[in-house]
Amino acid sequence: MGYVNLDAQHPLSSGLTSESRLVRAYQGDRPEVTPVWFMRQAGRSLPEYRELRAGTRMLDACLDPELASEITLQPVRRHGVDAGIFFSDIVVPLKLVGVEVEIVSGKGPVMAAPVRTAADVAALTALDPAMLDEALAPVEQAVRRTVAELARVDSTGSSPFRSGTATPLIGFAGAPFTLAAYLVEGGPSKDHIAARTLMHADPEAWARLMAWTADVTGRFLRAQVLAGASAAQLFDSWAGALSLSDYVRYAAPASARAIGHVRDLSYSLPARDQAADPETVRRSVPIVHFGVGTGELLQAMHDVGADVVGVDYRVPLDEASRRLGGNVPLQGNIDPALLAAPWPVLEAHVRDVLVRGRTAPAHVLNLGHGVPPETDPAVLTRVVEFVHSL
């Protein structure tokens, strides 16, 4: 595979984030302190977020570079987490490519018209994903703005980061199956039966739909990395609705195609030895693959080209590591429900997750899903401080 070198000013290439706890862990090098961040850390659990978002629709906020950047930074400032996760939504590239979609409060993404037939698929896939190269400009601006700010976050001597490192930003996108499920269902669904029906009833139309969603979401992810994100996460919310055989046949090839949009991006570590072969210090941008209810799919999710596998709260990390052969870095997997439990209960749970995470080459502490909106932000801060103190 050919490589595309990141710009010399990229945080990974310049060394700003390549030695951060997060990137080291994603690369399989266990740091002295376990890195921690939370899915959906930027959002409804923060009063400053609710104040900032008042009167602004979700997708409008995602496409406002100043607003998206500030929302991304809020939990980094408040909690002292080891990474920022870019504030956006998985349907942003769908909207930018021309799909009529809105995020309805209390419900989620809703399409103006579901994609149910081969004719519907043909009409949708006539929209050229290449138009995103220009349409994603607001996203790229927001990422660049955020990366510049993260390099300055907590520059005091009390910083939890190594001297000379910056807080890395994680870019993210929805996996092709999850995007396809939204498109076919027309919105959220409990069983995704319309999507699974199309998958089996018209495999050719399904394959065209999946290839298209892979290129749309892959370009979205690539744009974030090129603009300065130090890692990429593919988020498959609905893959747990699939059997292993259906996932491997009907979803995994498209996820591999999406990841392929960033798999070739690489950087070289600053050479300590002037005579060192540049290839010996070349690294790829780390890629995380996470799904919900995907305990039976972990190996298949790794096989699509991911470096790190995110694990939800249903499977203990030691069991997940066993299923992955014991050689894959893991991310996860505090049960979000325990964030509202008494501190001794939550502390014991966090300790248990950390112990089980020791069975993997490296571990990034996270939730087994997103932060619930009603979570007390002080609890998240306390978890970060506790993990960093160990």
Selecting among 49, 182, 247, 250, the annotated active-site residue is 182
Q: Does the annotation place 28 within a ligand binding site?
A: no
Smallest Cα–Cα separation from 117: which of 176, 177, 184? 184
Q: Does the annotation place 237 within a ligand binding site?
A: yes
Domain extent, residue 267, equals 4-389
pTM of structure:
0.94
CA 48 to mean position of chain CA atoms: 23
Q: Does the annotation place 245 within a ligand binding site?
A: no
Q: What is the distance between the alpha carbons of residues 58 and 88, in angstroms, rounded to a whole number?
A: 9
Q: Residue 101's beta-bridge partner residues?
A: 111
Selecting among 21, 40, 219, 356, the annotated active-site residue is 40
| 219 has catalytic annotation | no
Selecting among 21, 24, 26, 89, the annotated active-site residue is 89
Q: What is the distance between the alpha carbons of residues 82 and 359, in angstroms, rounded to a whole number?
A: 21
CATH number of the domain enclosing 252 = 3.20.20.210
| 314 has catalytic annotation | no
pLDDT per position in the chain (390 positions), as tens? 678 899 999 999 999 999 999 999 999 999 999 999 999 999 889 999 999 999 999 999 999 999 999 999 999 999 999 999 999 999 999 999 999 999 998 889 999 999 999 999 999 999 999 999 999 999 999 999 999 999 885 443 334 444 458 999 999 999 999 999 999 999 998 899 999 999 999 999 999 999 999 999 999 999 999 999 999 999 999 999 999 999 999 999 999 999 999 999 999 876 555 455 555 578 999 999 999 999 999 999 999 999 999 999 999 999 999 999 999 999 999 999 999 999 999 999 999 999 999 999 999 999 999 999 999 999 999 999 999 999
Question: In the block, which residue shows the tokens 């049960």?
Answer: 335
Angle at 124 between CA 251 and CA 184, to 5 degrees: 50
Q: How many domains in the chain?
A: 1
List the structure tokens of 276. 């060192």
Q: Does the annotation place 302 within a ligand binding site?
A: no
